[in-house]
Structure formats: C-alpha cells, structure tokens
Amino acid sequence: MAQSRQMSHILGATSESGRPTIARASYDGRMRFTPSPIALRLFCLSILALLLSGCGEPEAATPLLRWYVFDEPSGAFEQAAADCSAAAEGRYQITLVPLPSDADQQREQIVRRLAAGDAAIDLIGMDMIWTAELAAADWIRPWPAAAAMQARAGRLQSAVESATYAGQLWAVPFTTNTQLLWYRADRVDQAPATWSELIARSERPGATGTIQAQGARYEGLTVFFVSLLASAGGSVLSPDGRSVSLATEPTRRALAIMQTLARSPAADPALATSREDDARRAFEAGTATFMLNYTYVWPSARSNAPEIAEQMHWARWPAVDPDRPSRVTLGGINLGIGAHSRYPEQARAAALCLAGERQQRQAAIRGGLPPTIATLYDDPAIRATFPFAELLRATLRDAVQRPKTPLYADVSLAISHTLHPLHEIDPIADVARLRRAVARALRSQGLL
C-alpha cells in the first residue's frame, strides 16, 4: 500500500500552475500519457528506490553465528560464546539459541530445520547419537583434513569416535560423560566388582537400601543394555552398522542380568518407570545403597543432601565377567556445522574455540560436564570438581559407542520396547525377539 501511494503521488504530480506535468489527455477513444522529461526521471528514480528497498538490510560486517544447543543452566555455554566472540576480534559473533532439555525434542527441532535447508543453523550442539543420522542425510558438513586434525588433537579417542562416521570426522568433541557405580560407604566397606556380586551383596540378610538403575522404556534402558552387552563381549550391530550382531552368549548374559536385577528384592519397586533423575532422588533421599548414574549426581548430592554426599563413594561400573573390565556407554555433546550455513569457515573456527581448553575447563567447573581433552583430567581445578577424575578418564578411554547407524533412533526404540519391563525378560527367547526387532528397525519397518 505504501508503494502504491508513492506511485500515485508521482503520477499525479502537478506544475506550479496546477496542471498535470506527467501526462496529458486527448480524446481519440483512449487515454494517452506523454510524460515530461523531469517527471520521467522522477518516476525512474522512484522505481529504483522501491526495488532497492525490497532487498533487505545490508549484510552485517561481522557474521552472526547461531549456536543451537541445549539450555545449559550454569551459564557455562553462554560465557564460552561471549569469550570466543571477543577472541574472534570481529571475525564472527556467536549467539545461543537454546533447545529443550529433552533430547528427543532437541533432535526433532534440529532435524526439521536442517531438512528444510535452514541457513540460520551454523553451530549445532549435537548429542553424539545424532552423528550418523545427520551425516548420512548431508545435514552437517564434514570437516576438511587440516581442520579435522585440529579437532582430534589431544581428545579422548572414544570422544573422537563418537564424532566420526564412515571414516570422516563430522564434529569436534566438546563434552563427554559416562556412568559410574555410586554407593554408600557407611553401608558398604568395598564396592562390588561384578553384577553378580552387586546383587548378591544387596540381598544379604541385614542389607539395606536399593539398587538404582534405569528401567523405564526410553533411551536410558537402551544404554543399560548396550553397556551390559559390551561388558559381556557383544555388540548390537556389525562393525559397518548395516546388519544385526547380537551374538547369542553375550546377549543372553546381558538379558539374564537385567532380569535378575528386576526380580531381586534389592531392586526399586519403581524400576519399570525409573530414569536418571528418579535414581538420583532416591539416592539423595537415603533409600538407595547403590546407584548406576552419570557424574552430575555428585554435585547434586553435595548441594541437596550433604549428609548423604559425605558417605558417597564411587567405583567402576560393575563387570559382567570378573576377568573382563566393564565397558560403559558413552554420552556427550559434539559441535557440528549446519550444511546450509552461510559462514562455514567462521563456524569451524568458532567450534574449535568453543571446544578449546579454556571453555572445556569452564564447562566442567561451572556445569559439571566432563571434558574431552585428555590432559584436563590432570588439572587441579578439574580434580577438585571431579575427585573421581582418574576413574572417569579410565572409564571413558574404553567406553562403548552406541550403535552407529543413521537409523539409531529406530534401533533404540526396538531395544527399549522389546526389553520392557525388565522383570518379564526371557534371557533365551528374547535373544531371537531382539534380533528380529533390530532387523526390522534397520529396514525402517514398523517397530510396534
């Protein structure tokens, strides 16, 4: 409407005498317009101005990089973005775009935007289980050889593997995590080394407290199974991720432990609905003696239940076989570059800064997020934050990857739906059931 009014004003321009200067009419059955030279110039200039006004604002001198990542509560990510923006000295500016705390909702938002070719996604705080899916869909950019060498340098190998798919690095490892066994030292004089020892000790006459684990029908149950399976020497998929593995004996042993735990009087009666935070709350309330959980439970207990934290000790996740160390499922966040970003070079530089030593130290101390840079576990400030730093690093070094496939979300659903509830597991029959469910997931067939 504004443009129409401007055009009408020009076409209706008048001379000082009040007569039209842009047109005159003669009657020969139609109206003819004969513009004057001045009016024609004004008209052309107005058209040019209107065209230029539709081109938007000039591009900012400093590229704005949008970092999509979960809404980290301590402010560590926000500070990292500010620090790296300042260090860039005008080459780029990072702004955070917070994602929901729920991992499934994070993935849904990111996948929808990437599938639509959203150029506003520059940096992605990727859950490490997204790597294969986003890479196979060409929704993130591979890292060129020189930049990939920088991104890998000094990182824990397990973290590097989580950012790798089909022999190519797709992200820089940022934060990592895995589970430990937490226990009450005032009730237990020594941590059990195996699952059989853990369950037997918890069932002894006079023993008090439950074993807290994740048994709800969600990703945590898949993580529980993958850790048990790897600790027994098995894997869900073949090394190339294209076919089902689930060797009989390791799978049967993993399923037997899950069933035994669920049917034990030492199990929490709410195991079938228990997630990480349910386990944490039960431990802080004093009803649990043992807990399988991530490292965030340590600062939480110190803040929420200091009397429990005084008795809170840690040990390596229990082994399936006394002669084989446990292997525990890896977690963490990696930094990927959106495939449609207008500033890929600046985004890679920003990712390397965000995942640098200073920012990882800050994320660990302020946010309780374990670093991917191996030498930081020797840092006095990190050890003060994580007194279990040496055990954590050792566990991370041989941590197990979740199944590497673009269809991971379907594979995880197949596992958690097949094995829930744990007390109904049949360790023999469910080996075949699990194989069929995972095979259907790999064919993108119906799961339920």
pLDDT of residue 73: 93
Q: How far apart are CA 371 and CA 393, in angstroms?
A: 9
Band of pLDDT at residue 103, cut at 50, 70 and 90: confident
- The listed range with the strongest mean pLDDT (42-46, 103-107, 386-390) is 386-390
pLDDT of residue 187: 97
Tokens coding 415: 């596992």
Residues 20-39 as b/e (b if ≥16 CB within 10 A, e otherwise) read bbbeeeeeeeeeeeeeeeeb
pLDDT (tens digit per residue) in 104-133 = 899 999 999 999 999 999 999 999 999 999
Q: Regarding the domain with residue range 179-329+407-442, which homologous superfamily does it belong to in the CATH classification?
A: Periplasmic binding protein-like II (3.40.190.10)
Examine the pLDDT at 34 and tell me if it is beyond 60: no
Band of pLDDT at residue 41, cut at 50, 70 and 90: low
Q: How far is CA 69 from CA 77, 180, 218, in A?
A: 9, 25, 21
pLDDT of residue 37: 52
**144/17: higher pLDDT:** 144
Average pLDDT for 16-30: 35
Average pLDDT for 40-49: 49
Q: How far apart are CA 215 and CA 365, in angstroms?
A: 30
Residues 71-84 as b/e (b if ≥16 CB within 10 A, e otherwise) read ebeeebbbebbebb
Residue carrying structure tokens 């432990």: 257
306 burial (CB, 10 Å; 0-12 / 13-18 / 19+) is exposed
Average pLDDT for 191-219: 97
pLDDT of residue 104: 85
Average pLDDT for 367-377: 97
pLDDT of residue 422: 98
pLDDT (tens digit per residue) in 424-437 = 999 999 999 999 99
Band of pLDDT at residue 4, cut at 50, 70 and 90: very low
Q: How far is CA 230 from CA 126, 327, 401, in A?
A: 24, 6, 9
Q: Do domains 64-177+330-397 and 179-329+407-442 have the same CATH topology?
A: yes
**32/35: higher pLDDT:** 35
Average pLDDT for 377-393: 97
Q: How far apart are CA 201 and CA 187, in angstroms?
A: 11
pLDDT of residue 60: 56
Q: What is the DSSP letter of 122?
A: -
DSSP assignment of 378-421, as one string? Answer: G-HHHHHH-TTHHHHHHHHHTPBPPP-STTHHHHHHHHHHHH-S
Bridge-based pairing of strands 331-337 and 123-127 is antiparallel
pLDDT of residue 17: 35
Examine the pLDDT at 154 and tell me if it is beyond 70: yes
3-state secondary structure 72-112: CCCCHHHHHHHHHHHHHCCCCEEEEEEECCCHHHHHHHHHH
HSE toward the beta carbon, residue 408, CA cutoff 13 A? 24
Which of helix, strand or coil describes residue 144?
coil
pLDDT (tens digit per residue) in 300-313 = 999 999 999 999 99
Band of pLDDT at residue 231, cut at 50, 70 and 90: very high
HSE toward the beta carbon, residue 208, CA cutoff 13 A? 7
What's the pTM value of the predicted model, to 2 decimals?
0.85
CA neighbor of 389 nearest in space, from 336, 439, 447, 314: 314
CATH code 3.30.930.10 for 64-177+330-397: no
pLDDT of residue 1: 42
Average pLDDT for 27-47: 45
Extents of the domains making up the chain? 12-53, 64-177+330-397, 179-329+407-442
For residue 189, count other CB atoms closer than 10 A to its CB: 6
**35/211: higher pLDDT:** 211
Average pLDDT, the chain: 89
Band of pLDDT at residue 192, cut at 50, 70 and 90: very high
pLDDT (tens digit per residue) in 301-350 = 999 999 999 999 999 999 999 999 999 999 999 999 999 999 999 999 99
Q: How far apart are CA 225 and CA 214, in angstroms?
A: 10
Torsion of CA 279, 283, 289, 290, to 10 degrees: 40
Helices 2-11, 37-53: inter-axial angle, 10-degree rounding: 170
**162/8: higher pLDDT:** 162
CA neighbor of 106 nearest in space, from 83, 133, 80: 133
